[in-house]
């Protein structure tokens, strides 16, 4: 059953081939047998899962089952879950048990999905390798000496290892697409505002967006149907109707114009990755899509702009962690300032502290205009590049990452080397556009991802082309040998 | 752009973080490397461009000025490090 897609599991449950309790127990058993090898799941909610599964079985029997009734999934540990620890991968929130559910979690519960537990992640979603988690790194199921990507590395590795058929994730600069690429699964970052951020622990509020991860585009469409909603509790949630993302999956892609930005195939791109991505583009061309050369001339400014805006917003968002109302408080503080300072220094890891310091620097008097103001202007240049491109193409495609999964410690002590891992994904966050990664090849037995960038709220078209690609290729069905 | 040790100390104070003597050289080096990266922004011609703080043009939605949340003091205080008689308590701050 663990090799079934969500679409197939839904059919199996509806046709009574197996019950949700059997299915849930099967995945719980797999987590218990395999998770030690990957460290992808950091909280398992067995009892809660089995009760939810029993309830789902009743609804299935009564014939009033909602869309994802009885399907087990995992939630990234950035989403607040009522009564279940929500750590955000940090010592700061190691003891944090929220008294409420995030809207995304509520939406899945409403649609009958069963939560198996919570997935590991880079601390406060700051990282591209999962090496910054307080709970230790996640290992890539395709090569356990290599990273799964980040920050949603736990969700991606869990799906690749068949510990769950789908998982929630978040993407601030590539945190859904890059781990999806490195673990050989599909992942979609929707348009900013499409999915509610309420109850999702904030990193950089103008960039953060939640999305689905699963093995196929079809499964991502099923999950997005459930996740996307207008939410009055999130002031940036967009009040726009949610289409049925599965309805257009079967559309022909004949005549579709795909923009290929020259900047995404320049220096720094691994040769094997380039070959795999170009082959995928040729496959789509053979299906009738038209490849159009385009330019995104300000691409080189994305990473610098991001590393001003994201840390600036993070330094403001993370000021709430002060040891007063929840989370970690240091032992025996001598006064209030000592409590703030030691709680934060002991509670946050190195990368989080670094980003707080950078953000504070960029926002401080005398530097605001040169850094933060300038980055916000550059953001407009990047957005303009995309809006010019979308005048002549329907979608934009290229590699998700410059290379396949790298080994633990390979990026060494230089934070900038790690930051460049997101060179192809960051621009879409700055512009608020949707982006997706689907598996499109293997290099040295490690997966490669094809990135699909769409115009605002054009997720249905992205999922359609990704689904059509998966009808003619088999990369999404591959599994690491140890987990088959 | 490199960053001076004195500036790091000021930033740490503003951020309510402590950087110990042993790691300050490392932290200074790494932050300088990040600032060298972000300095690439200075090459961009942004004359006459507005600063945008949101990914696309939407106006901030406002809610009606009405109480719409129920009192959940007990639930939130149950997860606090220290409380007393319904209040969050902190170490003494006035001598």
Query: Averaged over A222-251, what is the pLDDT?
Result: 95
User: Which residue in the set A307, A335, A379 is minimally distant from B92, CB to CB?
Assistant: A335
Residue-wise pLDDT for A281-291, tens only, equals: 999 999 999 99
Closest CA to A112 of A24, A235, A203: A24
Residue of A nearest to B44 (CA): A378
pLDDT of residue B1: 62
**Residue A453 belongs to domain spanning:** 6-256+392-483
In a domain, A249, yes or no: yes
Q: Is the pLDDT of residue B94 over 90?
A: no
> Is B44's CB within 8 Å of A322's CB?
no
> Is B53's CB within 8 Å of A376's CB?
yes
> Is B18's CB within 8 Å of A335's CB?
no
pLDDT of residue A417: 84
Per-residue tokens: B46: 């942004």
pLDDT of residue B51: 84
Query: Averaged over A435-462, what is the pLDDT?
Result: 98
Rounded to whole angstroms, what are the CA distances from A431 to A189, A190, A399, A403, B56?
A: 12, 12, 18, 24, 7
Exposure string of A442-462, with b = 16+ CB inside 10 Å and e = fewer, is: bbeebbbbbbbbbbbbbbbbb
Please give the positions of A annotated as active site: 76, 151, 175
Q: Is the pLDDT of residue A174 over 80?
A: yes
CA B48 remoteness from chain centre:
29
> Is A326's CB within 8 Å of B81's CB?
yes
Q: Is the pLDDT of residue B59 over 80?
A: no
Per-residue tokens: A412: 């060494």
Integer Cα distance of A412 and A371 in angstroms = 26
pLDDT of residue B3: 83
Element (H, E) at A294: strand A290-294
Q: What are the φ/ψ torsions at residue A435 (nearest 5 degrees)?
A: -140, 150
How many structural domains does chain A have? 1
Please report, for chain B, the start and end positions of each structural domain, with discontinuous segments joined by +: 5-42
User: Which residue in the set A97, A415, A430 is minimally distant from B79, CB to CB?
Assistant: A97
Q: What percent of chain B lies above the pLDDT cut of 90?
A: 48
Residue of B nearest to A382 (CA): B55
Mean of pLDDT over chain B: 88
In a domain, A381, yes or no: no
When pLDDT is cut at 50, 70 and 90, the band that residue A278 belongs to is very high
Integer Cα distance of A443 and A142 in angstroms = 11
CB A185 within 8 A of CB A213: yes
Closest CA to A328 of A337, A309, A316, A341: A341
Query: Averaged over A393-404, what is the pLDDT?
Result: 98
pLDDT of residue B23: 86
In a domain, A412, yes or no: yes
pLDDT of residue B76: 94
CB A29 within 8 A of CB A35: no
pLDDT of residue B30: 87
Integer Cα distance of B36 and B7 in angstroms = 16
User: Which residue in the set B56, B63, B88 is minimally distant from A325, CB to CB?
Assistant: B88
Mean of pLDDT over chain A: 96
In a domain, A314, yes or no: no
Residue-wise pLDDT for A323-353, tens only, equals: 999 999 999 999 999 999 999 999 999 999 9
pLDDT of residue B50: 84
Query: Averaged over A411-424, what is the pLDDT?
Result: 86
In a domain, A327, yes or no: no
When pLDDT is cut at 50, 70 and 90, the band that residue A473 belongs to is very high
pLDDT of residue A14: 96
Residues 6+ apart with CB under 8 A from A121: A76, A77, A78, A88, A89, A130, A133, A150, A151, A152, A153, A154, A155
Q: What are the φ/ψ torsions at residue A364 (nearest 5 degrees)?
A: -80, 160
In this structure, of A234-243, A244-253, A362-371, B1-10, the range with the lowest mean pLDDT score is B1-10
Higher pLDDT, B3 or A133: A133
Closest CA to A252 of A469, A398, A458, A454: A469
Q: Torsion-angle region of residue A63: left (phi > 0), alpha (psi -120 to 50) or beta? A: left
Query: Averaged over A371-388, what is the pLDDT?
Result: 95
When pLDDT is cut at 50, 70 and 90, the band that residue B93 belongs to is confident
Q: Is the pLDDT of residue A415 over 90?
A: no
End-to-end CA distance of chain B: 42
For residue A80, the 8-state DSSP code is -
pLDDT of residue B57: 66
Q: Is the pLDDT of residue A394 over 70?
A: yes
Closest CA to A379 of B65, B45, B55, B19: B55
Q: Is A43 helix (H, G, I), strand (E, B) or coil?
A: strand
pLDDT of residue B63: 83
Residue-wise pLDDT for A13-56, tens only, equals: 999 999 999 999 999 999 999 999 999 999 999 999 999 999 99
For residue A165, the 8-state DSSP code is S
CATH of residue A406: 3.90.1300.10
Kind of pairing, strands A114-119 and A72-76? parallel
Q: Is the pLDDT of residue B56 over 80?
A: no
Residues of A in Cβ contact (< 8 Å) with B40:
300-301, 304
Residues of B in Cβ contact (< 8 Å) with A209:
none
Q: What percent of chain A lies above the pLDDT cut of 70?
A: 100
Report pTM: 0.97
Determine the Cα angle at A6 with ends A33 and A181, to 5°: 75
Q: How far is B4 from chain A (nearest CA, A)?
A: 12
Query: Averaged over A54-68, what is the pLDDT?
Result: 96
Q: How far is A98 from chain B (nearest CA, A)?
A: 8
Q: What percent of chain A lies above the pLDDT cut of 90?
A: 95
């Amino acid at each position: 059953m663990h090799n079934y897609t969500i679409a197939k599991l839904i059919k199996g449950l509806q046709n009574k081939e197996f019950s949700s309790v059997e299915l849930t127990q099967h995945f719980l058993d797999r987590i218990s047998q395999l998770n030690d090898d990957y460290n992808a799941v950091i909280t398992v909610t067995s009892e809660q899962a089995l009760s939810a599964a029993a309830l789902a079985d009743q609804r299935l029997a009564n014939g009033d089952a909602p869309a994802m009734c009885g399907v087990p999934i995992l939630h990234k540990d950035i989403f607040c879950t009522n009564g279940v620890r929500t750590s955000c991968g940090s010592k700061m929130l190691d003891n944090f048990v929220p008294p409420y559910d995030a809207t995304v979690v509520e939406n899945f519960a409403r649609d009958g999905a069963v939560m198996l537990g919570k997935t590991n992640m880079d601390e406060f979603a700051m990282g591209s390798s999962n090496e910054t988690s307080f709970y230790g790194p996640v290992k890539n199921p395709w090569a356990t000496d290599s990273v799964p990507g980040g920050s949603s590395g736990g969700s991606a590795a869990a799906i690749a290892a068949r510990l769950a058929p789908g998982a929630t994730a978040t993407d601030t600069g590539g945190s859904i697409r890059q781990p999806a690429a490195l673990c050989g699964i599909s992942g979609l970052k929707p348009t900013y505002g499409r999915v509610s951020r309420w109850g999702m622990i904030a990193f950089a509020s103008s960039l953060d967006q939640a999305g689905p991860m699963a093995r196929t585009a079809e499964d991502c469409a099923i999950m997005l149907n459930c996740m996307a909603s207008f939410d009055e509790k999130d002031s940036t949630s967009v009040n726009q109707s949610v289409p049925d993302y599965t309805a257009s999956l079967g559309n022909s892609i004949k005549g579709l114009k795909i923009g290929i930005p020259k900047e995404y195939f320049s220096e720094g791109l691994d040769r094997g990755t380039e070959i795999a991505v170009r082959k995928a583009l040729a496959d789509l061309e053979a299906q009738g899509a038209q490849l159009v050369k385009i330019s995104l001339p300000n691409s080189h400014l994305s990473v610098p702009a991001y590393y001003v805006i994201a840390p600036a917003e993070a330094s403001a968002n993370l000021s709430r962690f002060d040891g007063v109302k929840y989370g970690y408080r240091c032992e025996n503080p001598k006064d209030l300032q000592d409590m703030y300072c030691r709680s934060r220094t002991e509670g946050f890891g190195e990368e989080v502290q670094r980003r707080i310091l950078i953000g504070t620097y960029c926002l401080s008097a005398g530097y605001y205009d040169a850094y933060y103001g300038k980055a916000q202007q550059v953001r407009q240049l990047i957005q303009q590049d995309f809006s010019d491109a979308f005048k002549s193409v329907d979608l934009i495609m290229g590699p998700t990452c410059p290379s396949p999964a790298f080994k633990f410690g390979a990026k060494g002590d230089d934070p900038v080397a790690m930051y460049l891992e997101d060179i192809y994904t960051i621009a879409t966050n700055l512009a608020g556009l949707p982006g997706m990664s689907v598996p499109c090849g293997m290099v040295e037995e490690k997966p490669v991802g094809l990135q699909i960038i769409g115009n605002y709220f054009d997720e249905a078209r992205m999922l359609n082309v990704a689904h059509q690609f998966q009808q003619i290729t088999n990369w999404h069905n591959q599994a690491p040998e140890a987990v088959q | 752009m490199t960053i001076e040790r004195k500036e790091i100390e000021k930033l740490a104070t503003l951020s309510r973080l402590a950087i110990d003597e042993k790691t300050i050289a490392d932290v200074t080096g790494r932050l300088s490397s990040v600032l060298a990266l972000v300095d690439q922004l200075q090459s961009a011609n942004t004359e006459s461009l507005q600063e945008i703080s949101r990914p696309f043009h939407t106006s901030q939605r406002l809610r009606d000025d009405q109480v719409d949340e129920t009192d959940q003091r007990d639930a939130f205080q149950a997860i606090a490090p220290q409380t007393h008689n319904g209040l969050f308590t902190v170490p003494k701050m006035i001598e």
